[in-house]
Chains A and B, each alone.
Chain A
């Protein structure tokens, strides 16, 4: 029997066991919405702006490990979605974005709500498709889900003209799909792994540096085993937090521009570096020239060959799925007879403990003003470190990363690569739908939250009891910090004037609002907010305007050139 292209789209989503589609209707996708209406297996979540649709699908994917799905209309629906798509692309998040397109005969005619979707999104997707024949929809959707989740994950756009959704064809969803042009390597090269192991065994000052690949590749268990077995220090990028338990003594905290002193110093001065699912980006190692002032051997495990030797030369590249490679490494480690250099390792740890004693994350605990770090510490205590925490972008993001000690993967959800303000709340919606029984917190700032504030409405409609922690310092804090450090205290356009009353704003959307102005009220406010299991609570913390994020590596500087408190 032949069914419409629109019905085929929905049947594909059902076949992929998609629970939620985040979207916003419009002319070009009306047939698809009509089919969504007629069934109840795939639930649609109506956002208030297409950017939020993709962020929500992205948050869902990050928290669940499954493919997130967004559905938007042509033209402005697509252009609004682009920020979300680019965000997912930069952080390698598996999302399928279905976009409506004007009818095939109108393509290229500058039709109403027409944009060249495939052209606009090409540089920020893993791959995209324009489906011109109804008979190709099923196979294309299969490819989209396969491409999104396999290899190095990423967003896939499927652009479907309206007439294609109206046309009819038989529905036949392929069981599996082979693509001769796409065969990601998963198994690491045994010989390379052996080489890596012998380097690690000879190391005097070893260091393990992990990234988002550990989280995306579900390799936490293997990483934890390896780090403990080796007894080496371990650090993580912003994206990798939770990949190794933060409370473990072998964990040196996050590294990079706002990383801890001990992590950055150990990274700079190690003699053998094992990089796992990380990409040495500019926010992590600072200036690569400075990084190479010190000689060290680098082993790099990554699923994407193009991430290896891109910014730094690597001695032992290992292309493969992080979990597979770590399993093999553990196996070889177990059966090998090589012994580590225990004495050197002891000396190395002694040095690291000296760095750690510098207490680079200290802040003024006696301040009469609310310190943002204090709020995050109390948030961590109140939620016993078990919440899913999303964030927006800026100072609050860094404080959340530094002070919320993540023990498990997929709990820390933020836009690391693109740095998208406005990501936090919509992403949290996706997280909450993926984990309806768990506590979901959005740590944000008064400037970021304003960028997708309309989603408070979505939260009300779907009864999403997010806990929003707004660190309100009346400034674009990170911009202000850079202006203070590098632009002679000239705070050009970084003061947020004319802010809304967030309490009444939250209330106007039907939520609970709280304002907290004194350090002494922080704990009680948090306790009260988290008691309200079924309410969205917007906590507006009025914080110290002058607080800065430390340590900091200024742009162009190296890992050991931190500004410290």
Chain B
């Protein structure tokens, strides 16, 4: 089953490689992994999307907690949560595609953030499946480049991951 795990860890050099090394050494899946400092600059927040049986997910949680740099771990998928991913897509925008691409961006509530005579760069946020849906909706040939951040997640309401 797919799980989205949030990790609060010391903002130290090498902390990321401890986590990624753990996943590769123990053969766990990583669908995506994002990390950046939090409002407290000494801490980083990581979101890992992974999958595995209940036993594997339990081990992942325990192994993450065992890392000395890790402060807290929660499995967001155990409760209500929101996840968002950012995608930048560069599409060809000439001739009839120019209008079509503008319309598609609007439908998906994306924004065009860079424009040239030949292409648009569209910014889209949403769940992973929404981004997938966008890519499906526009034809393969128009897509010049895509870049995705991987999911970031947060618990709903008073589910807070903090020190």
A contacts, CB < 8 Å to B: 118-119, 122-123, 126-127, 130, 147, 179-182, 304-306, 308-310, 313
How many Å lie between the Cα of A118 and that of B16 in the bound state?
13
CA distance A383 to B97 in the complex (A): 89
**CB within 8 A of A122: which of B18, B65, B66, B163?**
B18
Q: Indicate if the CB atoms of B68 and A147 lie closer than 8 Å.
A: yes
A181:B71 contact, CB within 8 angstroms = yes
Pairwise interchain contact A122-B17, C-beta atoms closer than 8 A: yes
Asked whether, in the complex, the Cβ of A126 is within 8 Å of the Cβ of B17, the reply is no
B74 smallest CB distance to A (angstroms): 15
B1-36: CB near A (< 8 Å → 1, else 0) gives: 000000001100110011001000100000000000
Asked if B25 and A304 sit within 8 Å, CB to CB, the answer is no
Q: Which B residue's beta carbon lies closest to that of A156? A: B68
In the bound complex, what is the Cα–Cα distance between A180 and B58 (angstroms)? 22
Chain B hits for A119, CB < 8 A: 17
Which B residues are in CB contact (< 8 Å) with A179? Answer: 68
Alpha-carbon distance A118/B69, docked complex (angstroms): 14
Bound-complex Cα distance A127 to B70 (A): 12
* Residues on the A chain within 8 Å of B58, using CB: 309
Query: Can you add 19 more A-B contacts, CB < 8 Å, to A122-B14, A306-B62, A306-B65?
Result: A118-B14, A123-B21, A126-B68, A130-B13, A130-B14, A147-B68, A179-B68, A180-B163, A181-B9, A181-B10, A181-B68, A181-B69, A181-B70, A305-B66, A306-B59, A306-B63, A308-B62, A309-B58, A310-B59
Contact yes or no, B21 A305, CB < 8 A: no
A123 to B9, CA, bound (A): 18
Chain B interface, >50% SS class: helix
User: How many A-B contacts if CB must be within 8 Å?
Assistant: 38
Interface contact A306-B17, CB-CB below 8 Å: no
* Distance between B97 CB and nearest chain A CB, rounded to angstroms: 46
A309 CA to B63 CA, complexed, in Å: 12
Chain B residues positioned under 8 Å from A313 (CB to CB): 55
Task: Pick 5 A–B contacts, CB within 8 A, sort by A.
Answer: A118-B14, A122-B18, A180-B163, A306-B62, A308-B62
Q: Which residue of A lies closest to B70 (CB)?
A: A181
Number of interface residues of B (CB under 8 A): 20
A241 to B59, CA, bound (A): 28
Q: Which of A127, A130, A304, A308 interacts with B68 by CB under 8 Å? A: A127
- Give the residues from 48 to 105 in chain B that come closer than 8 angstroms, CB to CB, to chain A: 55, 58-59, 62-63, 65-66, 68-71
Complexed CA–CA distance, A413 and B131 (Å): 57
Assembly CA distance A147 to B59 (angstroms): 22
Residues of B within 8 A of A123 (CB): 21, 25
Contacts of B65 in A (CB 8 A): 305-306
Report the separation of the CA atoms of residues A444 and B70 in the bound assembly, to the nearest whole angstrom: 41
In angstroms, how far is the closest chain B Cβ from the Cβ of A118? 6
Alpha-carbon gap, A554 to B127, bound state (A): 50
Q: In the complex, what residues of A have CB within 8 A of residue B71's CB?
A: 180-181
CB of B89 to closest CB in A, whole Å: 35
- A124 CB, nearest partner CB in chain B, Å: 10
CB distance from A307 to the nearest CB of B (A): 9
Q: Name the B residues within 8 Å of A180 (CB-CB).
A: 71, 163
B128 CB → nearest A CB, Å? 29
For B70, the chain A residues whose CB sits under 8 A away are 181
B132 to chain A, nearest CB (A): 34
A306 B66 Cβ-Cβ under 8 A: yes
Specify which chain A residues have a CB less than 8 angstroms from the CB of B25 in the assembled complex. Answer: 123
With both chains docked as a complex, state the minimum distance between the C-beta of A211 and any C-beta of chain B, in angstroms: 18
Q: A119-B17, A122-B17 are in contact. Are A304 and B66 (CB under 8 A)?
A: yes
**In the complex, which residues of chain A have a beta carbon less than 8 angstroms from the beta carbon of B62?**
305-306, 308
- 6 nearest CB pairs, A to B: A306-B62, A127-B68, A181-B71, A305-B62, A123-B25, A182-B68
- Interchain nearest-CB distance for B81 vs A (Å): 23
Tell me the bound Cα distance from A126 to B68 in angstroms.
8
Report how far A122 CA is from B17 CA in the complex, Å.
9
How far does the Cβ of B57 sit from chain A's closest Cβ, in whole Å? 12
Contact residues in B for A306 (Cβ distance below 8 Å): 59, 62-63, 65-66
